[in-house]
Amino acid sequence: MKPIALTLLLIACLSHAARADEVQVAIAANFAAPAKQLAADFEKETGHKVQAVFGATGKFYAQIRNGAPFEVLLAADDETPARLEKEGAAVAGTRFTYATGRLVLWSAKAGVVDAAGSVLKQGGFDHIALANPKLAPYGAAAVEALATLQLLDTLQPRFVQGENIAQTHQFVASGNALLGFVALSQVMTDGRITAGSAWIVPAHLHQPIRQDAVLLEKGKGKPAARAWLDYLRGDRARAVIKSLGYEI
């Protein structure tokens, strides 16, 4: 390579590095797999780094209100970002729905969950796992679906609650609970459920699980935080999100 060309390349690389920054993101546990894939692509495209923490939306709310250093929130609902915006902890006008989640009744074992979800009425299981409905929107959706089916009172004594949807999935995957309500994204790859048996809960049985993103006050004026939110709105990110079990 000629000296001039090499010099220009080095200047371009140094300029890119100088612009690169880090964004601290709190991400709902159900979105862990897509977020990791998206973050890797985002980092290649922009040079910015995503420092992600995964957990329950309800806990993130409390942490943000108590000064946690998060700059962006990817929630599992639309109420928490709206509440943070109203309370002045998020930047007005930056909130948008990045995905709509789907709830699924899943067992790690084949043949346990039928295509109509009739296993809920038939029984044959000691425990059914779900995320804590007070902290996790997917848990709240599961409770609402069971109430709509008039099965809540019958099945509530069998509940095993995870702190978040990731822990709930682990309960089922490990066999500690024969079946449970998890996010479709946790058991789907390339548009299909890859293991066990499942019933995708009809959307009319619970309120839509609209998952909103918002720029937090600590991310105001941070280029990496703005870039991450812009990236999530792009066609490439939307295609990945859709392929992993979400509606757009």
Q: Look up the CATH number of the domain holding residue 185.
A: 3.40.190.10
Residues 51 and 77 in one domain: yes
User: In the predicted model, is pLDDT for residue 11 greater than 50?
Assistant: no
Cα angle at 185 between 41 and 241, to 5 degrees?
A: 40
Query: What pLDDT, in 10s, does the model give residues 139-173?
Result: 999 999 999 999 999 999 999 999 989 999 999 99
Same domain? 139 vs 196 = yes
The residue range of the domain holding 85 is: 3-100+209-243
Q: Which residues lie across from 26 on neighbouring strands?
A: 53, 73
Q: Quick one: 121 and 163 in the same domain?
A: yes
Rg (alpha carbons) of the chain, rounded to whole number:
20
Report the C-alpha gap between 36 and 48 in whole angstroms. Answer: 14
The predicted structure's pLDDT at residue 191: 76
Check pLDDT > 80 for residue 14: no
Identify whether residues 73 and 111 lie together within a single domain: no
Q: 188, exposed or middle or buried, with CB in 10 Å at 0-12, 13-18, 19+? A: buried
Nearest CA among 203, 210, 186, 191 for reference residue 106: 186
Contact of 135 with 162, CB cutoff 8 Å: no
**Contact, 231 vs 45, CB < 8 A?**
yes
The answer on 215 and 186 residing in a single domain is no
Which residues lie below 8 Å from residue 124, measured CB to CB, with a gap of 6+?
none
144 lies in the same domain as 157: yes
Shared-domain flag, residues 8 and 79: yes
Q: Using one digit for the tens of pLDDT, what is the confidence trace for 34-82?
A: 999 999 999 999 999 999 999 989 999 999 999 999 999 999 999 999 9
The total of other beta-carbon atoms located within 10 Å of residue 151's CB is: 14
Tell me the average pLDDT of the chain. Answer: 91
Q: What is the largest CA-CA distance in the chain?
A: 76
Both 127 and 196 in a single domain?
yes
Residue 248 falls within a domain, yes or no?
no
Using CA atoms, how far residue 150 sits from 22, 157, 203, in Å, is 47, 14, 16
Identify whether residues 163 and 219 lie together within a single domain: no
**In the prediction, which pLDDT does 193 show?**
86
The residues pairing with 188 across neighbouring beta strands, listed in sequence order, are 193
Q: Is the dihedral of CA 136, 31, 83, 216 positive or negative?
A: positive
pLDDT of residue 115: 92
Structural domain count of the chain: 2
Say yes or no: 127 and 164 in one domain.
yes
